[in-house]
Amino acid sequence: MNKQVIKYSSFLTAPIFLCGALQASIYWDTNGSTGGAGNPATGTWDAATTSNWTTDSTGASATSTFDALADTDVVFSAGTDATSAAVVTTSGTQLVSSVTFQEGDITLTGTNIDDAGTTIQFTVNDGANAIVDYSDGAYNADFDVQGSSTMQINVVRGGGGMAKTGTGTLTVHRLDASLTVNEGTVIYDTTGSGGSAKLKNTTVNDGGTLRLEANTFDGSKRSLQVNGTGAVEFASGVDQTISFFTGDGSVVGNGSTLKIGGDNKSTTFNGDISGDMDLHAIGTGTFTMSDATSMEIIVGGNGVNNSILGTGNINLNGELTFDLTGADLTAGNSWLIVDVDNLNETYGATFSIANFTESEGIWSYDLNALVEFSESTGELYVVPEPSSFALLAGCMGLAFVMLKRRA
């Protein structure tokens, strides 16, 4: 049998070409072939007129127009010299796949950018800061803000799923998104020219923080999930309604209101609630505070405190913690903790109050004065000293005798 020997050496030594070109980045460069990008690297970003772009990461080569380089992964800026604040003014809508802020304090303003595919990936390197100040960002985006860097977005309104990574801080004025916060902080404040409450279903994971400076969700039927070490912080005065409230993370109230049950669905929370938050159970569903839940009640002057309120159904299976450090413990003072007159509440077998002891639905704690909470009335109150009762009884008896003598 004749055998044919095939030699592969030519294949091994020849270069291998992949289908499609590898994607490269182009760099913002305002000073031509001089190394770096110029400082400050302020200029105009248009399609075919101004040569402010290069493929040379050092900035030492000739520059070209944005269209001529035909790349959608852009970096601000070439070299390492563009460390001062700079304004990049967009003329016309420029299509990008990713935008990386490598150094300096860069503001993008002017007309707009849009996604060249489905999502724009924004990256802010540690040490850089970015402001994206367009008034109509009709695209989806993901945000990687690294280290201690900051990024501010005016409007991103693509409406899809978006994610925040990196330990830095992202501030948004309008974000039409189902948001996942995986790392760092997202601040939603609805200020600026395009500010609006448009947030959809939101998840905050381990290492993430969502800070709500205003009412943020685009309706009462959205969900908020807070997991692990994740946290949601409400600013004072925020009054937010959601449907589902889940997870085992933490929520900080700071003098705000959270209403749960906006879509008449049942939901369970397993985490911690602190910092002076009024919690409302609304709708026809049931909100359950599980046996893993704790809620802080901050008690002040007579009748001054945060409470569990609403007109819906609530299962209280977790722990209440009363902060009495600022409480006026004058005998007879009281505070409404659970609005039993309007709620349909159920105290579960695992319900408890930290440092209090319970007997037949009355929880007691002796802190220079006897303080009690009644499950049936939902009130915390200061019990008068026994001597006060005796004095009161004596005065009433004396008054009765005097009235009898006069008679």
| Digit-coded pLDDT (tens) for 90-100 | 999 999 999 99
Strand partners, 366: 370
In degrees and rounded to multiples of 5, residue 208 shows phi and psi of: -105, 150
Kindly tell me if the per-residue pLDDT of 48 is higher than 70: yes
- The answer to whether residue 401 is domain-embedded is yes
Query: Percentage of the chain with pLDDT > 70?
Result: 89
pLDDT digits (tens, 9 = 90+) for 131-151: 999 999 999 999 999 999 999
Which pLDDT band, with edges at 50, 70 and 90, does 367 fall under?
Answer: confident
The average pLDDT across 265-269 equals: 98
- The answer to whether residue 237 is domain-embedded is no
Mean pLDDT of the chain: 91
| 164-182 core/surface letters (b: 16 or more CB in 10 A; e: else) | bbbebbbbbbbbbbbbbbb
Task: Supply the range of the domain harboring residue 305.
Answer: 252-407
Residues 6+ apart with CB under 8 A from 74: 25, 26, 27, 28, 53, 96, 98, 99, 100
- The answer to whether residue 104 is domain-embedded is no
- The answer to whether residue 399 is domain-embedded is yes
pLDDT digits (tens, 9 = 90+) for 24-47: 899 999 999 999 999 999 999 999
- The answer to whether residue 395 is domain-embedded is yes
Pair 39, 66: CB distance under 8 Å: no
Question: Structural domain tally of the chain?
Answer: 1
Higher pLDDT, 9 or 258: 258
- The answer to whether residue 366 is domain-embedded is yes
- The answer to whether residue 341 is domain-embedded is yes
Q: What pLDDT was estimated at residue 187?
A: 99
Q: What pLDDT was estimated at residue 225?
A: 99
Cα separation, 92 vs 85, in Å, equals 23
Q: What pLDDT was estimated at residue 23?
A: 56
Give pTM, 2 decimals.
0.88
In degrees and rounded to multiples of 5, residue 293 shows phi and psi of: -85, 145
Q: What pLDDT was estimated at residue 24?
A: 80
Q: What pLDDT was estimated at residue 397?
A: 43
pLDDT digits (tens, 9 = 90+) for 295-343: 999 999 999 999 999 999 999 999 999 999 999 999 999 999 999 999 9
- The answer to whether residue 362 is domain-embedded is yes
